[in-house]
Structure 1
Amino acid sequence: MSDRTGGVASVQTLRESFQRMGPSWVAGAIAAGPASLASLITAGGGYGYALFWVVVLSAVAGAFAQYLAMRLGLLTERGIVAVVEDHLGDSWAWLLVLDVVLAAGSAQLLIMKTVATVSETITGVDARIWGVVWAVVLAVGLATRGYRFLEVVAKALVAGVVVAFLASLFVVPVDAGAAARGLVPALPSGSALVAAGVLGGAVHITLITMHSYTMRAREWTVEEYGLATFDVGASMLVAFGAYSVAVFLVTASVLTTGDLSAVEAARALGPLAGRYAEWLFLLGLLGAAVSTLGGNTMAPPFLLADKQGWDTTVDDDRYRGLLVAAALLSAPGAFIGGPVLSQLSLVLAIGTVGTPFAIVVVLYLLNSAAVPESPSTLTNLGGLALLAVTGALAANFVAEQVAGGVDALSGAILAFAVVLTAATVALVAKYVRLSMAGPVASNE
């Protein structure tokens, strides 16, 4: 009898945890978006199962990156920009803000392009009209309801997206042997951009930096440490991991080219795997795109408002104004021409270039006087491994871009990489210098 009672209590506790969690699901909603989908389609269609190891690694690395961000947010109970400003200085804080604005801003336009294009495919209404409509809906929803509106939508859409893509997996034949061989790490020629895009979907500066703000919106403190850890595992490791694996295996099993947009990939599934698979893919894509659009919109306003010392809730009119501006400025994305697939993979890879800097910032702060309890040796080693992986993929991506010839775009990417690499090296040197002199303290 006691075992039965204990089992019921456990189920109730688990259900309550699911109802209470949320902040990491916003990160999961951004991660499981059209940019990740584009990279997964390119990886599966262009290289078969060869990059399966990167897909699995992305879920594990994404969950660990969010854990580090979660730990910093809970132990400081402040936004990351304010913590950086106090313990590193004003210049470092502005550099972090600029990094996020560039990464999230470039992604926002292409996410809107995807939302509008999928909406046009499903309804027949012009994508440019949909771009304006979605921008207004987003502005009104965020300005009136703020974070809570986003969290509810994100949790519902991410759950639906995972179900849709898992269902499509069951109607597509998968070569289990080839998939198993794809778990052996290898980078086929020309795949650095794709691999960086896949990993960049999960380990991205936007996800890392905004997590402290979403937890503050829920008023979580160190008392919710267990719940916050469960939140990260359920959303990033389980939900995002299932999404990534399902999309990758579907495309690797059926598509024979990675040169397809997400919508074209869905259409290609029709004759190859049936109309059921096509519509599941389209609906999953729309859900992923809409949820990502909302979460990504909030990232720059969070950091900008924190840097200015404003409140990061809609009770502050200045922050609300930033939200509305970010939402409406996404509308022009629906008017961008060109192949969305390569564009989405590129912006994710650009985000990957900025991510090592964000990881170093978080590790620095976690091992400084900013937090009352330093991380374990194992956690630090995991953080360094995460830094090594993201740094290597970012370096490969930049090298591949430069090898193709330096034009305006690749030159801008190279300059961006050089600035952030210099900042990362400088921050590591600063930590080593201060730690040799004693415990790392606040900025003088």
Structure 2
Amino acid sequence: MSETTSGAIAAWGTQIREYATGMGPSWIAGAIAAGPASMASLITAGARFDYALLWVVVLSAGAGTLAQYLAMRLGLLTERGVVDVVERHLGEWWAWILVADVVIAAGVAQLVIMNTVATVSATITGVDARICGAFWALVLVVGLAGKGYRFVEFVAKVLVAAVVAAFVASLFVVPIEPTQALSGLVPTLPAGSAVVAAGILGGAVHITLITMHSYTMRARQWTEGEYRLATVDVVASMLIAFGVYSVATFLVTASVLSDPSLSTVGAAQALGPLAGSAAQWLFLLGLGGAAVSTLGGNTLVPPFLVADKLGWGTTVEDGRYRGLLVAVALLSAPGAFIGGEILGQLVLVLALGTVGTPFAIVVVLYLLNSDAVSEGASALANLGGVALLLVSGTLAVNFVVEQIGGGIDVLTGLVVAFAAALGIATVALLAKLIGETYRRAA
């Protein structure tokens, strides 16, 4: 081997190590995306529709990567939190709408995720789920309020890597039908699959993931100079890690499970007699890691946006922000008392997030095409953003239609009202964006 080749290999090795140690902010988003809510949608899709929705699973990884890239670009070019940027360039009411959208979506998700963490912990340890919930709430307080962002980032990177490894290992102990799996790459939506498809996509393209990215990068003090590192960060966490997690989880459930009423924990337990104890424990441990990492990452989101809107700091050095973290962490504990079937709750939470996501996408597109950034979005980036908007908007509409078709109760009524308010805001902001773009072109 020549000295030139050896030097090139050494240089590549050094760069890979630098990227591996430097990555982080997008792994928080990946930790939330690769969580029990996504798993619930994947389990439901595989158990109910076999391999038919594999194309949605693959699409979700690509869509999630694109959404995080656009959010990353906005955060780097403005070097501010997204709420502050919205208030400066759109106005205070738009900022409040964004904050309310995120707090509702993330707050509801927090309770259901805690229910999942407590249930999984109880299954593994035999300790009462309510005690497990109180324990994890205290862990959140000590870990987040005490150690801050870098602690969460480290835990997220470790747990996401471990979760991906667990589900990839599951593929080697569960029989997969390659021909049938490949047929699932042909786009089709079986009857009754709209909510599940919205849940799968909502796990990757979610308002909490899009809005939190500017704050995690600020915690790292990243600027435009870290653009390449930030791009690698997004691709590694969302396209690769989250994509592998999603496909592996879906293939395992689609190939073995056939009971759509299974819970996430029930799915793991059902794998025992069907595919052996190794598959059961790999699945259960993967679910536990995903639930814990998601719980920690999701806890950060409401405090980030509320603190930014109130003009507070978004690190634990600001006592007011630390207080918000403690409050959200402690308010998570009642989630362990919810009870009931968590699978349906988790799918509904993701689908609810999908309802709020089109508004976040339009916000990002508007700001990337305004004087908020020094360099406007490329035609390709805008095209990708519009595609995201169309896909998420279509799934959100289908979800609302299915909810109405199933009858209006109190919960459905609240979901429809939430969707209607955000739908009006999204259309109004989109019209504003189109009008301003037309005037600039003229």
- TM-score between both structures, scaled by the size of structure 2: 0.99
User: C-alpha offsets along residues 166-189 of structure 1, whole Å, 9 cap, x if unaligned?
Assistant: 001111111111111100111100
Which one of 126, 129, 132 corresponds to residue 128 of structure 2? 126
2:252 to 230, 250, 253: 250
Runs (4+) off by over 6 Å: none
Cα separation, 2, equivalents of 1:120 and 1:429: 50
Gaps of 5+ in 1: none
Q: Distance in 2 between matches of 1:260 and 1:146?
A: 36
Quote the Cα distance in structure 1 between the aligned partners of 2:197 and 2:328: 29
The alpha-carbon deviation at position 305 of structure 1 amounts to 0.1
Alpha-carbon distance between aligned partners in 2 of 1:30 and 1:195, rounded to the nearest angstrom: 18
Mapped to 2, the partners of 1:17 and 1:217 lie a distance apart of 17
Partner of 1:348: 350
After TM superposition, list the pairs within 5 Å mapping 1:238-317 onto structure 2: 238-317=240-319
Deviation at 1:432, TM superposition (A): 2.2
Q: Does 1:226 align with 2:228?
A: yes
Q: Offset at 1:436?
A: 3.0
Q: Does 1:161 align with 2:143?
A: no
Q: Deviations over 1:128-173 (max 9, x none)?
A: 0000000011111111111111000000000000000000111111
| Aligned partner of residue 169 in structure 2, secondary structure | helix
Question: Which secondary structure state, in structure 2, belongs to the residue aligned with residue 413 of structure 1?
Answer: helix
Match of 1:431 in 2: 433
TM-superposed CA distance for 1:430, in Å, is: 1.2
Q: How far apart are the structure 1 equivalents of 2:190 and 2:403?
A: 16
Q: Which residue of 2 aligns with 1:136?
A: 138
Equivalent residue for 1:185?
187
Match of 1:69 in 2: 71
- Matched residue, 1:208: 210
Counterpart residue number, 1:110: 112
Contact kept? 1:38, 1:262, Cα under 8 Å:
yes
Pairing 1:75-86 to 2, within 5 Å after superposition: 75-86=77-88
Aligned residues: 440
Check whether the contact 1:368–1:439 (CA below 8 A) recurs between aligned residues. Answer: no
**Which amino acid in structure 2 is aligned with residue 254 of structure 1?**
V
For residues 332-347 of structure 1, the aligned pairs below 5 Å read 332-347=334-349
Tell me how far 1:434 sits from its aligned partner: 2.3
* Residues in 1 aligned to 2:419 and 2:14: alpha-carbon distance in whole angstroms: 48
- 2:423 aligns to what SS in structure 1? helix
Kindly state the Cα deviation for residue 439 of structure 1 after the two structures are TM-superposed: 7.6
Once the two structures are TM-superposed, the CA of residue 437 in structure 1 deviates from its matched residue by: 3.0
- Please state how far the C-alpha of 1:433 moved relative to its aligned partner: 2.3
Query: What is the identity, as a one-letter code, of the residue corresponding to 1:246?
Result: A
Pairing 1:402–2:404 present: yes
Secondary structure at the aligned position of 1:259 is classed as coil
Letter of the 2:44 counterpart: T
Question: Which amino acid counterpart does residue 127 of structure 1 have in structure 2?
Answer: A
Q: Which amino acid aligns with 2:334?
A: P
In the alignment, the residues of structure 2 paired with residue 430 and residue 371 of structure 1 have an alpha-carbon distance, to the nearest angstrom, of 18
Measured after TM superposition, the shift of residue 337 of structure 1 is: 1.7
The residue type paired with residue 111 of structure 1 is: I
Instruction: Report the CA distance between 1:300 and its aligned residue.
Output: 0.2
Moved more, 53-62 or 256-265: 256-265
Distance in 1 of aligned mates of 2:10 and 2:174: 37
- For 1:306, the aligned partner's letter is D
1:360: which partner in 2?
362
Q: Take 1:206 and 1:439, find their aligned partners in 2: how far apart are those partners? A: 33
Distance in 2 of aligned mates of 1:80 and 1:140: 27
Task: Supply the distance in 2 between the matched residues of 1:215 and 1:110 (Cα, whole angstroms).
Answer: 27
Which residue type is aligned with residue 290 of structure 1?
V
- Give secondary structure in 2 for the equivalent of 1:329: helix
Which AA in structure 1 matches 2:45?
Answer: A
Query: For 2:312, what is the secondary structure of its paired residue?
Result: coil
The 1:96–1:439 alpha-carbon spacing in structure 2 relative to 1, beyond 3 Å, is farther
Q: How far apart are residue 375 of structure 1 and its match?
A: 1.1
2:397 maps to a residue whose letter is: A
Q: Aligned partners of 2:220, 2:426: CA distance in 1, in Å?
A: 31
Deviations 1:395-434 (A, max 9, x none): 1110001011111111111111111111111001112222
3-state SS in 1 of match to 2:395: helix
Query: Which deviates the most, 287-296 or 400-409?
Result: 400-409
User: Equivalent pairs: percent with the same residue?
Assistant: 70
Residue 277 of structure 1, CA deviation: 0.6
Name the structure 1 match of 2:381: 379
Whole-Å separation in 1 of the counterparts to 2:339 and 2:165: 31
Name the amino acid aligned to 1:352. T
**In 2, Cα distance between the equivalents of 1:321 and 1:439?**
47
CA distance in 2, matches of 1:369, 1:60: 28
Query: Using the alignment, how far apart are the partners of 2:211 and 2:114 within structure 1?
Result: 22
Unaligned ranges ≥5, structure 2:
none
Output one character per residue of 1:245-274: Cα deviation in whole Å (capped at 9) or x when no partner.
000000000001221111100000000110
Matched position secondary structure for 2:63: helix
Report the Cα distance in structure 1 between the residues aligned to 2:133 and 2:242, rounded to whole angstroms.
Answer: 26
Q: Deviations over 1:222-253 (max 9, x none)?
A: 00000000000000000000000000000000
2:49 aligns to what? 47
Match of residue 59, structure 1, among 56, 61, 64: 61
Q: Using the alignment, how far apart are the partners of 1:405 and 1:261 within structure 2?
A: 24
Alignment partners' CA distance in 2, 1:435 and 1:116:
49
Deviates more, 1:224-233 or 1:4-13: 4-13
> 1:335-362 deviations in whole A, cap 9, x for unaligned?
0021000000001000000000000000
Q: Distance in 1 between matches of 2:165 and 2:441?
A: 48
| Structure-to-structure mapping, 1:144-159, within 5 angstroms | 144-159=146-161
